[in-house]
Structure 1
Amino acid sequence: MLHKLLTNKKVILASQSPRRQELLKALEVDFEVHLKPIDESYPAGMLPSEIAEYIAKKKAAAFLDQLTTDTILITGDTLVFKNEKALGKPKDVEEATRMLQSLSGTSHEVISSICVTTSEKQWVTHDKATVYFRVFAKAEIQHYINTYKPFDKAGAYGIQEWIGHVALLKLEGSYNTVMGLPTQKLYSLLELAATA
């Protein structure tokens, strides 16, 4: 069992996302949250999956000098893509509205990366899901943005919030991946890190 393997390890999650913290708790992992500001830019010309992994590794790089032999660091990134174009975190109401309008009545891809780093080694992977939304009414978009203020979320929405409950038609892939943490892949990587 994973929690037994991690008994003498200090697990750090470098994410302020309540969703990621909740999902990691659900894996029965004891962890601490440590945060560092990071520049999430990336080189032009990368594929969507490469971008997600690049940013997760960039987040890990900020902690490398702090890792002791018994530390396991978890970083990750979630990106929403529509027609191969990344939809980041909206800056304001107008941008959030535009993003949700572009997702209305159609499908888009969500890619979540996971990077597990120890003082000796690093493992990185990603998972992909396709989300299908029904058409949103203008009033629904306004209600969602005003009530839930999704400015900290890629693509301007959280699948676990009101909008996901009322508008999600179909999901191909893992729900947890859309929430921001591909737990099944993370579990395997933590096992590797704990026994490496």
Structure 2
Amino acid sequence: MTDLPPSPRELANQTGQPWLYLASQSPRRRQLLDQLGVRHTLLLPDDGEDAEALEAERPGESPEDYVQRVTMAKWHAAMSRLQRRHMAAPDAWPMGPVLCADTTVALDQAILGKPRDAAEAQQMLSRLSGRVHRVLTAVCVHGQLRLSRSQVHWRALDGAEIARYVDSGEPFGKAGAYAIQGRSGAWTAHIDGSYSGIMGLPLFETAELLKPLGWQF
């Protein structure tokens, strides 16, 4: 998505219509919120924030515990960010619900995050080739968290396929080095779970969190 989101002030001035802050740079999450008809604007980190540090793994942490802990840490950081901005400019940054999410790919108990370079992307894809892996996405709104669990069945890949995919640039910035909505769909034989959760925002869990805050679906 290339269009700019509305400003917080614009959304707040449209009385009677619920809206939220999305604390994520993912265009896929914006797309999925649009699919639900959820009005939103972005609440991105300040220049001095080390958002990547929140995603650091802890020794012995399971993928399920990891993704939920990271999501809650992102939500607390986003709330602190909003409170700072609201205190500095209350009209420009009105208070409102904040949505955060995090997605991780798990092969057995190994967490496959975002690849740092082409070599790591190729290594991750080779490990996933011909295997069944889990995709876990946690979403938090208003301090309440839900977890989506899915299984993805891939056919076996050869080295040339993996190399072409890495060369396409699609693996970068994505957990597990792939995007289910992209070219890797050609390898996906079967999914058990939530397609939108694998993309990065499980729509069912998100809607369940938003209903108590005034949204109707």
Which TM-score applies when normalising by structure 2?
0.80
Q: Is this contact kept in 1: 2:105–2:135, CA < 8 A?
A: yes
Percent of matched pairs sharing the same residue: 34
Q: How does 1:1-196 map onto structure 2 within 5 Å?
A: 7-36=16-45, 37-38=50-51, 39=53, 40-65=55-80, 66-67=82-83, 71-117=96-142, 122-164=143-185, 166-194=186-214
Q: Is this contact kept in 1: 2:108–2:133, CA < 8 A?
A: yes
Larger radius of gyration: 2
Q: Is this contact kept in 1: 2:103–2:200, CA < 8 A?
A: yes
The CA distance in 2 between the partners of 1:9 and 1:94, in whole Å, is: 44
Could you tell which deviates more after superposition, 29-38 or 130-139?
29-38
Q: Tell me the alpha carbon deviations over residues 99-147 of structure 1, each in whole angstroms, 9 at most, x when there is no partner.
A: 0000001110000000102xxxx10111100001001121111111111
Q: What secondary structure is seen at the aligned counterpart in 1 of 2:115?
A: coil
The CA distance in 2 between the partners of 1:30 and 1:7, in whole Å, is: 12
Matched residue type, 2:164: H
Q: What secondary structure is seen at the aligned counterpart in 2 of 1:94?
A: helix
- Higher relative contact order (CA closer than 8 Å, sequence separation 6+): 1
Matched residue type, 1:193: L
Q: How far does residue 70 in structure 1 lie from its aligned partner after superposition?
A: 5.1
Matched residue type, 1:170: H
Matched residue type, 2:155: R
Q: Is this contact kept in 2: 1:9–1:71, CA < 8 A?
A: no
Query: Gaps spanning 5+ residues in structure 1: where?
Result: 1-5
Q: What secondary structure is seen at the aligned counterpart in 2 of 1:31?
A: strand
Q: What secondary structure is seen at the aligned counterpart in 1 of 2:144?
A: strand
Q: Is this contact kept in 2: 1:113–1:126, CA < 8 A?
A: yes
The CA distance in 1 between the partners of 2:195 and 2:121, in whole Å, is: 22
Q: Is this contact kept in 1: 2:128–2:154, CA < 8 A?
A: yes
The CA distance in 2 between the partners of 1:21 and 1:41, in whole Å, is: 24
The CA distance in 2 between the partners of 1:149 and 1:177, in whole Å, is: 18
Which TM-score applies when normalising by structure 1?
0.88
Q: How far does residue 7 in structure 1 lie from its aligned partner after superposition?
A: 3.6
Q: What secondary structure is seen at the aligned counterpart in 2 of 1:160?
A: coil
Q: What secondary structure is seen at the aligned counterpart in 1 of 2:208?
A: helix
